[in-house]
Amino acid sequence: MSGLITMDDLTNDEILSILDDAERLLPVARGEAYLPLLQGKILGNLFFEPSTRTRMSFETAMKRLGGDVVNLGDVKTSSVVKGETLYDTIQMVDGYTDIIAMRHPRQGAAQYAQDSAEVPVLNGGDGAGHHPTQTMLDLFTIRQAHGRLEGLKVVLAGDLRYGRTVHSLSHALTRFGCELIFASPDVLRMPGEIVEDLSSHGATIVETNDLLGSIDTADVVYMTRIQKERFADEDEYTKVAGAYKLHASNLDGVKESMIIMHPLPRVDEIHPSVDSTRHARYFEQAFNGVVARMALLCRLLEIEVPGGEA
């Protein structure tokens, strides 16, 4: 296996086995056990776009497993401002590190980096493209709550056009036979080529503008932020800003077991009144980023997580 650029890089069996590894790493992520599986290994964190959770959870994952991290740091203080190309930056970091986690504003940049690097590249988000490591922690969170991935009814809501988390997640959920409901304003619908790709994988999809009318029978409601930074025109953003808001008072008729997820950061999509309901899972979801990324780092560095089947 080289890197992880899209969910196509993993088979369903690989996904499930990485989630099993992640499960076994929970005590290590919580700091209850120390397991230096990645001692002597260095992760290069290259974040060309803002990030809190993805960057910090990669760093936490590496350090909890005894490894080390070098950061590109603030792009403004790196050689990128002197005009260094992505190719040259990657060539150099390739020599400094054993594995790279990268986020970049350009769609396709992660694949480009993988094509020019010897070490594995983990795509931490490429523009409005993909975000497969987020999908792994999302799947972990869903399986933790429901005990399975297969056959669930999942509402994906908000900015389905520019939201890379839902691009990767809808692909994976389709492969596990989930029923998908896409709730978005018309201008932020899931791109046609993604819907076509999902349909060719046998997806069951309903597209709607009506979020609140879709949640009563759902097992998972996955909210997303409107991706302001991807809009060419600020006025277009203003028209859809605040389009979907979930409040605790909207949850009366939902299934007891339904979970509400969000990759975070949230703006106003989920009212704080939801936080104390039994349905809120977004903070656990963010914590799960550590175990999911630990398991991915081990898998890509070909280090076995103890406790699995031989």
Q: Which residues are tagged catalytic?
A: 53-54, 82, 103, 131
Residue 129 near ligand NCD by CB under 6 A:
no
Nearer to ligand NCD, 54 or 214 (CB): 54
Report DSSP letters for 102-152, one per residue.
EEESSTTHHHHHHHH-SS-EEEEEETTS--HHHHHHHHHHHHHHHS--TT-
299 binds ligand NCD (CB under 6 A): no
SS3 51: coil
CB of 207 to ligand NCD, least distance (A): 21
Nearest CB to ligand NCD, comparing residues 44 and 158: 158
Work out which of 45, 54, 123, 214 binds ligand NCD, going by CB under 6 A: 54
Q: Does 165 bind ligand NCD (CB under 6 A)?
A: yes
Which of 165, 95, 103, 98 has its CA nearest to residue 136? Answer: 165
Q: Please report how close the Cβ of residue 158 comes to ligand NCD at its closest, in angstroms.
A: 9
Alpha helical stretches, state H, the chain: 12-24, 26-29, 53-64, 86-96, 109-116, 132-146, 164-175, 192-200, 234-240, 282-300
Least CB distance to ligand NCD at residue 54 (A):
4
CB of 257 to ligand NCD, least distance (A): 24
Residue 53 binding ligand NCD, by CB under 6 A? yes
Cα–Cα distance, 295 to 108 (Å, whole number): 24
Q: Tell me if residue 180 falls in helix, strand or coil.
A: strand
127 belongs to the binding site for ligand NCD (CB under 6 A): no
Residues 213-232 within binding reach of ligand NCD (CB under 6 A) = 225
Q: How far is CA 69 from the centre of its chain?
A: 20
Binding status of residue 164 toward ligand NCD by CB under 6 A: yes
Residue from 125, 127, 129, 132 in contact with ligand NCD (CB under 6 A): 125
Longest dimension (CA), the chain: 57
* Binder of ligand NCD out of 55, 130, 131, 281 (CB under 6 A): 131
Smallest gap from Cβ 61 to ligand NCD, in A, equals 14
**CA–CA dist 60, 43 (Å, integer):** 11
The alpha carbons of the chain give a radius of gyration, in whole angstroms, of: 19
Given the complex with ligand NCD, which of 37 and 184 has the nearer CB atom?
184
The 10 Å Cβ neighbour count of residue 10 is 21
281 touching ligand NCD, by CB under 6 A: no
Name 199's Cβ contacts closer than 8 Å, sequence gap at least 6.
205
Query: CA-to-CA distance for 232 and 58, rounded, in angstroms?
Result: 30
State which residue, 98 or 269, has the beta carbon closest to ligand NCD: 269
Q: Whole-number minimum distance, CB 165 to ligand NCD, in Å?
A: 5
How many residues of this chain bind ligand NCD (CB under 6 A)?
10
How far apart, in whole angstroms, are the C-alpha atoms of residue 3 and residue 296? Answer: 10
Contact 7, 135 (CB under 8 A): yes
Instruction: Please identify, using beta-carbon distances, which residue of 113 and 254 lies nearer to ligand NCD.
Output: 113
Interface map 248-267 toward ligand NCD (x if CB under 6 A): ---------------xx---
Summarize as ranges the residues that interact with ligand NCD (CB under 6 A): 53-54, 125, 131, 134, 164-165, 225, 263-264
